[in-house]
Amino acid sequence: MNKRGFASDNNSGIHPSILAAIEEANQGHVTGYGEDIYTQKAIEKFKEFFGDDIDVYFCFNGTGANVLSISTLTNSFNSVFCPSTAHIMVDECGAPEKISGCKIIGIDTLNGKLFPELLIPHLHGFNFEHHSQPGIISISQATELGSVYRPEEIKALSELVHRHNMYMHMDGARLANAAVSLDLSFAEITRDAGVDALSFGGTKNGMLLGEAVVFFNKKLSANAKYFRKQSAQLFSKMRFVSAQFLAYFENGLWKENALHANNMARLLADEVRKLGIEITQEVEANGVFAILDDKIRDQLQKEYFFYPWNENRHEVRWMTSFDTREEDIIQFCKKLKELLNG
Amino acid sequence: MNKRGFASDNNSGIHPSILAAIEEANQGHVTGYGEDIYTQKAIEKFKEFFGDDIDVYFCFNGTGANVLSISTLTNSFNSVFCPSTAHIMVDECGAPEKISGCKIIGIDTLNGKLFPELLIPHLHGFNFEHHSQPGIISISQATELGSVYRPEEIKALSELVHRHNMYMHMDGARLANAAVSLDLSFAEITRDAGVDALSFGGTKNGMLLGEAVVFFNKKLSANAKYFRKQSAQLFSKMRFVSAQFLAYFENGLWKENALHANNMARLLADEVRKLGIEITQEVEANGVFAILDDKIRDQLQKEYFFYPWNENRHEVRWMTSFDTREEDIIQFCKKLKELLNG
Amino acid sequence: MNKRGFASDNNSGIHPSILAAIEEANQGHVTGYGEDIYTQKAIEKFKEFFGDDIDVYFCFNGTGANVLSISTLTNSFNSVFCPSTAHIMVDECGAPEKISGCKIIGIDTLNGKLFPELLIPHLHGFNFEHHSQPGIISISQATELGSVYRPEEIKALSELVHRHNMYMHMDGARLANAAVSLDLSFAEITRDAGVDALSFGGTKNGMLLGEAVVFFNKKLSANAKYFRKQSAQLFSKMRFVSAQFLAYFENGLWKENALHANNMARLLADEVRKLGIEITQEVEANGVFAILDDKIRDQLQKEYFFYPWNENRHEVRWMTSFDTREEDIIQFCKKLKELLNG
Amino acid sequence: MNKRGFASDNNSGIHPSILAAIEEANQGHVTGYGEDIYTQKAIEKFKEFFGDDIDVYFCFNGTGANVLSISTLTNSFNSVFCPSTAHIMVDECGAPEKISGCKIIGIDTLNGKLFPELLIPHLHGFNFEHHSQPGIISISQATELGSVYRPEEIKALSELVHRHNMYMHMDGARLANAAVSLDLSFAEITRDAGVDALSFGGTKNGMLLGEAVVFFNKKLSANAKYFRKQSAQLFSKMRFVSAQFLAYFENGLWKENALHANNMARLLADEVRKLGIEITQEVEANGVFAILDDKIRDQLQKEYFFYPWNENRHEVRWMTSFDTREEDIIQFCKKLKELLNG
């Protein structure tokens, strides 16, 4: 048995119900590339959550979903604004720039969240051909720093960008964690708040793999199917992603998984705080950021792989997931305590 | 139960042993993005087949593997030569051009196979900056027309292109079908024959999803990991592709599946020939190409979805797969016979 | 004095009236990037020729103008069809693919001219996301083989492509040569015949440098200014291109230059024919294609640089230009005769 | 006569000696695309300034030169660091991103100059495939804010980046202004200080048009000619750029022009200071940045077009050029004084 750790929510495996759904869909032949009944049903499920007037495109991974979103919402001469900690800015090896051709501009924030006053100074140069034309903003919900946007914060941003004829993308790789954190529906923190396109994550919350791009503005998505294929994100045996999404939505599995992960993050934060560890970010989703002495960190990493976050600040990141158990946290803290007592 | 048909080998599902391997790998946490024991073992397996001096990069799908191969082997000012029927030419919505920046030039062939005499007229303009520099050729093994290259045919091409300081890519989405057709090892029809980079397919021969790019020239692959990430082909929960490859190679499953698919194609060809249907391509792998009256075709498609291949010639394509059963062929031919007898 | 030869119409210099116009515009300061009175006037001149409802964008060179045209008319998932001898296919080092992201498909022709029956077999796969979506065709007027399209030939193509919701680009690097060859106006062989966007050449017909992209469909050109800047084709001291265009149109200089070049081509063809040389293409513009023994060719090239066209066929290309003099032809033929007489 | 103003050094025209050189080169035919004697001589001149072991590629404009430099020095998965005020960051409509595929990261600076301590926090993620690989830095000499790097400042940066196996690009659109400001040679502030590739500007200092990319590391430039062509920067009638460079270097014209422009900037700064205007940046080259009441600015712009620089700070930019005359400054200040006195 591989030990559970706190390196990333994608170090977890597949939720048993998701795997069962794959198994169940593994019957005979169905047409490829999404022309199958599983995909049709899965899209219907998305419509139950987000309303009928949407377009949904399944992708392999989060980078693929973000690239598809950006390519579809922009022209190559546009700029994309995002927090400087955004996944599209620091964790995608320049895929958005290369595939969309756009300029991506990272804006420094306090906690991974963009606010109108941070964005406004960048909203200039409209119609001036020397300047990449402000095209979209991209915000992550939950953010890469474990913080969560309130609906009114999202609305304030979307109203601002729409006034400038720009669009709003949300990277929802951890949307479920944000929704349960706020106790709000998916729609309330996306389309109702003015989001135009959403990368909806499944992989980090119990799926084998699978993300979806959801467009809330169908005028924008007419070409999405071509951009998906041209960015190598069209899955031939699509039913096996679609079946996962069906299981993901069934009986609130998405909610159960995300709620559990969030609860485990709070527990982890509480437990390490008891050991005198400083927690640097508010724990609103499933991430815990902490200050850790480099020596302690190195020793702890021998048993538990995890990522340093900001080496200058000696900050590390721990993530919980749907399958984190209290016992995992207890063992981890026990080890950490030993090291601290050195 | 979804009916088995002959539309594509990707309309099939997952081989039970592959699915079992996914299930078995679904234990606890492992590091993401390929830093796990399953991936390490799977790469070892590839080395058993291809030799130690290789680099292996797993990808989501065939388009992704081809794009990674091309991006890694070329600069944007290169040209890529392939048969005009190649998947990279007609079935990837321009992904290779967009992501690599290269010019892709399709060469008309008789049966999907490129030969030196067809290629030679294109090998000019070297060092002439106005001209896209001949960079690589890409051949499919088996081809999109169900034909198979003999090792000496591959060698003739690789020697030609290497003499021009070009490289050779093989699209092996159906490499297993070619290997069993020739009764040769993977190595004999790839690295031994001078191939520099190979897209090694798994999805079409029983995997849920999973392709690999294998580089036989490690000088060329130093940057492959960045190109994979930048083209959104790096899987976070990589163990679930790696575990599939392990099962795929275990006990010769790849061979059993491909052999079966090829046998079924021959059976299908034999059976439809008995009905007076003209078979247009030699049946060397798992594809059968036939002339079918448009009206018959339309009626048959109501029960069995499949693709027209060349509408002007009234040519259609039928593919068999690892899970095709004799009974499926018998039912299909029965239906076809009924239609033919009007 | 550099000897006049027949290598290319771009081996010629600047027409004295063009140079005088540059000198005259060299007075004090004007706003850069086209916000000046010379550019305003030059665009007015284009409107006199092509009608008011056009958009005009000046570029540095022909590749730049073609890339701007293609980028503006397409999305990256489109395909571009052109004769396999087109400049965009063989002489731009893959710039159109790299910058537009499109697939460029060359179609073999007899004389550099595309006809509906050659194009029709390629017009399929619409709405099928696996296939690059047929987006535009690009034809050269005059062609790279010295042939010229009649207006009805252009119309036949434009009607075909418009029926498929595609657009039509014309590479008019030698548009003036075509217009005088047909004794028709610019408009009659472009917008009146259904062309949507035109690369209008100046450099090859007496300008220092300068091309223009003219859009006849303003719905298409809304983003052209951004694509021009993003492809590095926006000239800061724009007045010096604009002033050239003003002189180019003044007193029919464009016509005088092109007429002269065409006449010289006919003279050259007549003279070399007298020497027993076979002319391989009809001489409709300013190019002469001929069969020349390799040894003779090599010797002749020592005194007169020119390009082999098709080495397999021993075909060479000679171009005349606005400044070719009868005497140049006489000297050239004299030398050729000497060589032929051994 | 168009009035001389202070909007930009590219609002100026062509120096008479440069124009004379164009005229002189306008004799007969020469081979295109740089295979001519003028280009050969011009490159020799560059070697006199920079040493023999260089590669030189002429381009149309500054954006083209920067794009060529970046494309040649990087792979698409690299990142490019520059001041957030850099031309490549704010004035090229995303051309570097689109054509090179790289991520461009702007770093905030005090005066447009990058220093090691500003860069160091960005130098991480090496070999980590999720992260765009730090590839090059690009600094402007003189900067877009009129400041100038001392050789030791450049060396400190180049040593830092070379230690990380990165390269250093210099945008020298105003290199001449920097050289005369420092009273140093071109080589001392480029290759001797560790620069790997230089965009060498001509347009802003008296040429009609013409920039050059100079590579000081020939291992890096092997593919530059293809990247130049593929980015549509190869000029057919190259002699007319080359002849300009010859005149530019002849008798120190470059120096005379730049010295004059710089002197005029200092004079302008002195004169406006006398009117109580605050100068916001040190005047080291040919730019003057000042605080100007919005109302005064609007009125002044009616007679003299110029660009606001930072609207929030009420900062404007005035540029002098080789043809600015003392009288122009006196007239400008007279007008400004009138407005200030209301």
Residue boundaries of the structural domains of chain A = 17-251, 253-341
Point out the residue among B77, B94, B311 whose CB comes nearest to the CB of C101.
B94
Determine whether the interchain pair A93/D121 forms a contact, defined as Cβ–Cβ distance below 8 Å: no
Which residues in D lie closer than 8 A to residue C231 (C-beta atoms)? 95, 98-99, 231-232
Work out the average pLDDT over D111-129: 97
CB C132 within 8 A of CB C103: yes
Q: Which two tokens stand for residue B247?
A: 């099962």
**CB crowding C25-53: b at 16 or more within 10 Å, else e:** bbeebbbbbbebebbeebbebbeebbeee
Chains with at least 3 CB pairs less than 8 angstroms from chain C: A, B, D
Please choose, from the candidates D92, D322, D120, D56, the residue with its C-alpha nearest in 3D space to the C-alpha of residue D204.
D322
In angstroms, rounded to a whole number, what is the distance separating the alpha carbons of residues A69 and A129? 24
Stronger pLDDT, A139 or C342, i.e. the higher one = A139
Determine whether the interchain pair C2/D28 forms a contact, defined as Cβ–Cβ distance below 8 Å: yes
Point out the residue among A133, A223, A229 whose CB comes nearest to the CB of C75.
A223
Determine whether the interchain pair A91/D129 forms a contact, defined as Cβ–Cβ distance below 8 Å: no
Question: Has residue D137 got a pLDDT over 80?
Answer: yes
Size of interface A-C (CB pairs under 8 A): 42
What integer best gives the mean pLDDT of chain B? 97
Point out the residue among B91, B93, B104 whose CB comes nearest to the CB of C77.
B93
**Model confidence at B1, in pLDDT bands (50, 70, 90)?**
low
CATH topology of domain B253-341: Aspartate Aminotransferase, domain 1 (3.90.1150)
Chain D residue at shortest CA distance from A126: D93
> What's residue C15's pLDDT?
98
Question: Has residue C3 got a pLDDT over 80?
Answer: yes
Q: What ipTM, to 2 d.p.? A: 0.97
Work out the average pLDDT over A20-42: 97
- β-pairing, A78-83 with A103-107? parallel
Work out the average pLDDT over A228-243: 98
Determine whether the interchain pair C226/A130 forms a contact, defined as Cβ–Cβ distance below 8 Å: no
pLDDT single digits (tens) B244-259: 999 999 999 999 999 9
Which residues in D lie closer than 8 A to residue B77 (C-beta atoms)? 223, 226-227, 229-230
> What's residue D1's pLDDT?
61
Determine whether the interchain pair A209/B13 forms a contact, defined as Cβ–Cβ distance below 8 Å: no
Determine whether the interchain pair B77/D133 forms a contact, defined as Cβ–Cβ distance below 8 Å: no
Q: What is the CATH number of domain B17-251?
A: 3.40.640.10
In angstroms, rounded to a whole number, what is the distance separating the alpha carbons of residues A201 and A85? 18
Residue linked to tokens 């079992």: B20
pLDDT single digits (tens) C59-94: 999 999 999 999 999 999 999 999 999 999 999 999
Which residues in D lie closer than 8 A to residue C99 (C-beta atoms)? 98-99, 231-232
Output Rg (C-alpha) for chain D, integer angstroms. Answer: 20
Question: Has residue D312 got a pLDDT over 90?
Answer: no
In angstroms, rounded to a whole number, what is the distance separating the alpha carbons of residues C232 and C211? 14
**Model confidence at B312, in pLDDT bands (50, 70, 90)?**
confident
Determine whether the interchain pair A226/C77 forms a contact, defined as Cβ–Cβ distance below 8 Å: yes
Determine whether the interchain pair D226/B130 forms a contact, defined as Cβ–Cβ distance below 8 Å: no
**Model confidence at D227, in pLDDT bands (50, 70, 90)?**
very high
Chains with at least 3 CB pairs less than 8 angstroms from chain A: B, C, D
In angstroms, rounded to a whole number, what is the distance separating the alpha carbons of residues B241 and B207? 9
The angle, 0 to 180 degrees and rounded to 10, between the axes of the packed helices D16-25 and D239-249 is 140
pLDDT single digits (tens) C35-62: 999 999 999 999 999 999 999 999 999 9
> What's residue B220's pLDDT?
94
Residue linked to tokens 């082999």: C308
Work out the average pLDDT over C156-169: 98
B15 CB-near residues (< 8 Å, 6+ apart): B206, B207, B247, B253, B257, B322, B323
Q: Is A84 helix (H, G, I), strand (E, B) or coil?
A: coil
Q: Is B22 helix (H, G, I), strand (E, B) or coil?
A: helix
Please choose, from the candidates C107, C117, C108, C109, the residue with its C-alpha nearest in 3D space to the C-alpha of residue C137.
C107
Point out the residue among D23, D231, D237 whose CB comes nearest to the CB of C19.
D23
CA of D15 to nearest chain A CA: how many angstroms apart? 26
Question: Has residue C27 got a pLDDT over 70?
Answer: yes
- Cα of C38 vs its chain's centroid, Å: 24
Work out the average pLDDT over D313-334: 97
Let me know if D20 is exposed, middle or buried by CB neighbors in 10 A (0-12, 13-18, 19+).
middle
Which residues in B lie closer than 8 A to residue A99 (C-beta atoms)? 98-99, 231-232
Q: Which two tokens stand for residue C324?
A: 């070719």
Which residues in C lie closer than 8 A to residue B106 (C-beta atoms)? 105
> What's residue A74's pLDDT?
98
> The whole model's pTM is what?
0.97
> What's residue D311's pLDDT?
87
Determine whether the interchain pair D229/B76 forms a contact, defined as Cβ–Cβ distance below 8 Å: no
pLDDT single digits (tens) C5-20: 999 999 999 999 999 9
> What's residue A311's pLDDT?
87
Work out the average pLDDT over B67-79: 98
> What's residue C35's pLDDT?
95
pLDDT single digits (tens) A157-185: 999 999 999 999 999 999 999 999 999 99
Helix (H) / strand (E) element for A210: namely: none
Across chain B, how many H-helices and E-strands are there? Answer: 13, 10
> What's residue B2's pLDDT?
80
Determine whether the interchain pair A130/D103 forms a contact, defined as Cβ–Cβ distance below 8 Å: no
> What's residue A342's pLDDT?
82
Which residues in A lie closer than 8 A to residue C228 (C-beta atoms)? 129
D1 CB-near residues (< 8 Å, 6+ apart): C27, C28
CB A57 within 8 A of CB A212: yes
- Cα of B300 vs its chain's centroid, Å: 27
**CA-CA-CA-CA torsion sign (B123, B128, B132, B137):** positive
- β-pairing, D55-59 with D211-215? antiparallel
> What's residue B311's pLDDT?
87
Which residues in D lie closer than 8 A to residue A125 (C-beta atoms)? 90
> What's residue C311's pLDDT?
87
Please choose, from the candidates B66, B168, B51, the residue with its C-alpha nearest in 3D space to the C-alpha of residue B116.
B168
**CA-CA-CA-CA torsion sign (C81, C83, C84, C87):** negative
> What's residue C1's pLDDT?
62
Question: Has residue B121 got a pLDDT over 80?
Answer: yes
Question: Has residue A1 got a pLDDT over 70?
Answer: no
Query: Would you list which residues of chain D are within 8 Å, Cβ to Cβ, of chain B?
Result: 33, 75-77, 101, 129-130, 133, 223, 225-230, 234
Chain A residue at shortest CA distance from D93: A132
CB C94 within 8 A of CB B101: yes
> What's residue D342's pLDDT?
83
